[in-house]
Amino acid sequence: MVLSIIVVNVILVPVVRFIYDPSKQYDNVRRCTIQHTTRDSELRIMVCIDNNENLPTILNLLEASYATRESMVAVTALVLVELKGRARPILVSNQFLESAHDSNHIDNALRQYAQQNGENVSIQSFTSISSFETMHDDVCRVSLECGANILILPFHRRWGIDGTVEVAHRSIQTINTEVLERAPCSVGILVDRGILNPSTSLLGARAPYYVVVFFIGGADDAETLAYGARMARHECVYVTVVRFLLFGEENSKDRKRDSDLIDEYRYYNAGNSRFEILDEVVKDGIEMSTCMRRLVDYFDLVMVGRQHPESVMFEGHDHWSECEELGVVGDMLASPNFVTKASVLVVQQQRIRGRVVKANVNVNQVPKERDQLLHNAPVVNETLSPACTILVDKNDKM
């Protein structure tokens, strides 16, 4: 009996794991991103909720995603409940929109969001009751089945009303790391500081909602830019894209490719006063972080990509990074030492078999009136005003 137990645990278990890898089912070869969808296609968002305190910020994010009859929003909510003991993990469907009886607080909030937008929004709700060590499987499986374009995950830290920071669930960090490696769609980690700024309510009060997109370069920032451009179509959402340019790299290939992408979104948002693009020329990471600190307090939500191409702007910042799942810039913005009331959304574009999805930008293609892919850039109209260039002085203080 002892020998049989040793054989099973030492030989058979590793062999089975080598033969069968359950994560391969999430290797989606189809592009499930916001950037690679058409302008009028349905946006499918999946949100993971671990506590009720994150609901106001999540509802603001869903409302800012701009649901219309031409471009509907399909929301899939997954409530994360930790399983304690030896009970069997389960995944249940909450048909709260079809039930007349009172439901929990999360279902009521989602119902209110659905009623506010009428037929432009569809809602599905599930509850995952499992251990946090294996819950990432439920998250990835549900996102694959619902065909989500972006998956929103909670952050493991929680802000108190007095500004104090505590670790809500350390296992949430492990879930986020596993999902980032396996997710069949784009992923966003939401750092919720909404409790520090409770006055902003986009869903009920229709208050102005200010969003800033920090664009440095790369596929993740391109996905963030695509999401921000969609938000700018909402009548109450004001989006400012701040592009950081490294001094002395005017002729680099990466900058030219990013410029084509920026010109595309400038073209599609011409005449939209709620969408603005600014250029910040910096010399190093210190000037970049200083500029971010000066800007963030003017906004309710900060959006940034998780990973970026190698640059001297990140030298020194990666040495003290605490949360690798947020990337260098995201970790800086989510740090307790970064005093601000703005929430942060760190976005990673879908990885197909571990590789970044490359978008081919064609500046010579004329856009069609409908079903034009956003990553195909049209000819830029010469009448459009260029972006404003701001030189940052490291000695300048607000």
Q: What CATH number is associated with residue 267?
A: 3.40.50.620
Q: Which domain holds residue 264?
A: 26-391
Lowest mean pLDDT among 55-64, 74-83, 160-169, 202-211: 160-169
Best CA proximity match to 42, nearest among 103, 120, 102, 128:
120
Cα gap 382→262, rounded to integer Å: 15
Does residue 367 form part of some domain? Answer: yes
Determine the residue type at 179. Answer: V
Does residue 11 form part of some domain? Answer: no
* Predicted confidence band of residue 166 (pLDDT cuts 50, 70, 90): confident
Sign of the C-alpha dihedral computed for residues 270, 274, 279 and 284 taken in this order: negative
Residue 230 confidence (pLDDT) = 95
Beta strand 73-82 with 121-130 is parallel
Does residue 5 form part of some domain? Answer: no
DSSP string, 271-294: T-TTEEEEEEEESSHHHHHHHHHH
Residue 199 confidence (pLDDT) = 67
Residue 364 confidence (pLDDT) = 38
Does residue 18 form part of some domain? Answer: no
Region of 327 (left: φ > 0; alpha: ψ -120 to 50; beta: rest) is: left
Residue 91 confidence (pLDDT) = 84
Q: How many CA atoms lie within 13 A of 378 on its CB side?
A: 16
Does residue 13 form part of some domain? Answer: no
Cα gap 209→152, rounded to integer Å: 19
Does residue 85 form part of some domain? Answer: yes
Report angle CA 296, 302, 308 to the nearest 5 degrees. Answer: 110
H/E run at residue 82: strand 73-82
* Predicted confidence band of residue 24 (pLDDT cuts 50, 70, 90): low
Q: What average pLDDT does the structure give for the chain?
A: 81
Lowest mean pLDDT among 74-83, 156-165, 168-177: 156-165
First-last CA distance in the chain: 73
Q: How many domains does the chain have?
A: 1
Does residue 262 form part of some domain? Answer: yes
Q: What is the CA radius of gyration of the chain?
A: 22
pTM tops 0.85: no
- Is the model's pLDDT at 192 over the cut of 80? yes
